[in-house]
Amino acid sequence: MISVKLPNQSSVMSVMTKAAIKASKGLLRDFSELENLQVSVKNNMDFVTNADLKADKIIKEELLHARPGYSFLSEESDEIVGEDSLYRWIVDPLDGTVNYMHGFPHWAVSIALEKNKEVVAAVTYDPLRNEMFWAEKGCGAYLNDKKIRVSKRRSLADALISFGMLEDGVSPTRGITHLKIRRTGSTTLNMAYLAAGRIDVLYSIANPNRWDVAAGILLIREAGGVVADKNGTPISDYGEIVIMSNVDLISAAAKI
């Protein structure tokens, strides 16, 4: 787990990173047990669902204990409308569930904080690699104690492209097989990797679930990246997100 002191953190960011780390302990324990399970697919899925729900419970308790008036939106539980309508937590306790179920080591915990419907703080934690991606509005994006930026690549021929969630029936490789393409199975890690310059262009479906992209949106923007619609036009809301990249690649990315 994280041992370094993360720089320039506010009290609310400390709450978020603590919650992510605490929930990850149970996820790591259950993930190690998955390798030894000899169960049916259904029971395997039940096991993972329980791990997901336990992580959700831990995060909810930590966040609402620290900020009891805030609202709470999670993939795994009913929405809570708090007394303070200005703030809302947005949580995905286990992004990359299918990866987790198969013992594939690529999944993460995602926590974001909205203020007046705008994300102002974000955490994406990969406990397997001990990587904490985090950002606060106006303060930059970080990986553990190091500041991160999106890549500086200017040509799609040199770019590493990733596809997140896609509509059914969509082939991400149709007509663009000459490009370097990866699909990892975790949207929140895809977005964190783009913020850190590991991925150059990321495509997704329009109208994603908020818990899938809330933290990643702030990470990318604070790292100097662009979140855009299918035409490459930068946008401020979640709804029409289709393309994410650095400034130099966004126009070319929109053409494919």
Q: What is the CATH number of the domain that holds 163?
A: 3.40.190.80
110 and 161 co-located in one domain: no
**Whole-number average pLDDT of the chain:** 86
What is the enclosing helix (H) or strand (E) of 145? none
Residue 169 lies in a domain: yes
124 and 207 co-located in one domain: no
- Among the candidates 148, 183, 213, a domain finishes at 148
| Domain count of the fold of the chain | 2
pLDDT, one tens digit per residue, over 27-72 is 999 888 876 554 445 455 666 678 888 999 999 999 999 999 999 9
175 and 230 co-located in one domain: yes
Residue 1 lies in a domain: no
pLDDT, one tens digit per residue, over 85-131 is 899 999 999 999 888 888 889 999 999 999 999 999 999 999 999 99
The whole domain housing 30 covers 11-148
Structure tokens at 37: 């399970």
Q: What is the CATH number of the domain that holds 28?
A: 3.30.540.10
Residue 3 lies in a domain: no
Q: Smallest Cα–Cα separation from 187: which of 253, 131, 242, 120?
A: 242
Residue 5 lies in a domain: no
Residue 75 pLDDT exceeds 80: yes
129 and 161 co-located in one domain: no
136 and 160 co-located in one domain: no
pLDDT of the residue at 160:
92
- Among the candidates 126, 148, 170, a domain finishes at 148
233 and 162 co-located in one domain: yes
* Phi, psi dihedrals of residue 152, rounded to the nearest 5°: -110, 15
Band the pLDDT of 246: cuts 50, 70, 90: very high
31 and 137 co-located in one domain: yes
* Bridge partner residues of 244 (DSSP): 202, 227
What is d(CA 13, CA 220) in angstroms, rounded to the nearest whole number?
17
Specify the amino acid at residue 139: C
Average pLDDT for 230-244 = 81
- Among the candidates 148, 165, 187, a domain finishes at 148
55 and 135 co-located in one domain: yes
47 and 115 co-located in one domain: yes
User: Three-state SS for 152?
Assistant: coil
Residue 180 pLDDT exceeds 90: no
